[in-house]
Amino acid sequence: MRIVIALGGNALLRRGEPLSAENQRENIRRACAQIAQIAPGNQLVVAHGNGPQVGLLALQGAAYKDVPSYPLDVLGAETEGMIGYIIEQELGNVLPFEVPFATLLTQVEVDPQDPAFQAPSKPIGPVYGREEAQRLAEQRGWSIAPDGDHFRRVVPSPRPKRIFEIRPISWLLEKGSVVICAGGGGIPTVYDQHGRLQGVEAVIDKDLCSALLAEQLAADLLVIATDVDGAYLDWGTPQQRRIAEAHPDRLQGLGFAAGSMGPKIEAACQFARNTGKVAVIGSLEQIEAIVRGAAGTRVSLAAAGLCQA
């Protein structure tokens, strides 16, 4: 079975943890131990988030005053390489030596006229208190938005249109490699008025890009791994209950939060509609059960409406 796994940010850094190399490696080590359970007999593609890492590089770069800050597409490429390196190494420590790995820097085309460029919404970087966030916004021209009880920088998040490296990703899978790609939603790129491809100041949603990746690879299953065991109705209330299975038409009208579960629901529904196959939102710790069909929130055209757990 060909499986695309979209790792949530908690696989790299848990909320409140310092963004140290040691913390990221330890979290990735735990994630890889789970992924290794489903490696035998399957073709695996691993995508991942990079919001905190891009934000940290931007902060570090701002401390060097002799040159302009590096653009987000370049920072995205840097983090793809860094995170891919650690995932490769930690997966290699738990899978047989014979299993090959490859990390691909992944360019993703977006539309320069996408409305997202006029309404920044994608959080990147660490969380701040209100006063510090406002100060940074004034100093650096950032857009900021609430993130729970804190605030984060937000940047444009245009929709992915095309994954340029889809052919080499397919070739690597056919040769038995585990592929790490489309990190952070891929490197956002556009064609300019002269037809030249160039990077753009934005961050693509990792889950929407993973859905496009899974579709273009003809994947059998899309797993959107997060820190909860599925999507919930009435989340955060005493009446909350997990959705076990749902048709896309039932899910998309339920108003999930744009900054958390909303993009995951949209990505799962997109993949299910466009392919007729199954997408699952669930906990990385339950990935073996997710692949067996025994855990998570399963989204498919075959579902009869919405079924609660």
Query: Which positions are catalytic?
Result: 9-10, 122, 206, 264
CA distance 275 to 167: 19
- What the block records as the tokens of 276 is 């007729």
CB-based burial, 169-187: b 16+ in 10 Å, e otherwise:
bbebbeeebbbbbbbbbbb
Count of alpha carbons within 13 angstroms of residue 16, beta-carbon side: 2
CA angle 122–123–129, rounded 5-degree value = 145
Please state whether beta strands 197-199 and 187-191 pair in parallel, antiparallel, or not at all (unpaired): antiparallel
**Which run of H or E residues covers position 285?**
none
Q: How many CB atoms lie within 10 A of CB 129?
A: 11
Alpha-carbon dihedral of residues 255, 260, 265, 266, nearest 10 degrees?
90
Quickly count: other Cβ atoms within 10 Å of residue 99's Cβ.
Answer: 16
Q: Which residues pair with 153 in a beta bridge?
A: 124, 144
Is 166 in contact with 217 (CB distance < 8 Å)? yes
- What 3-state class would DSSP assign to 162? strand
CB 243 within 8 A of CB 230: yes
Tokens representing residue 165 in the block: 């490296």
Please report the DSSP string for 44-65 in residue order.
EEEEE--HHHHHHHHHHHHT-T
- Specify which residues 221 forms β-bridges with: 3, 278
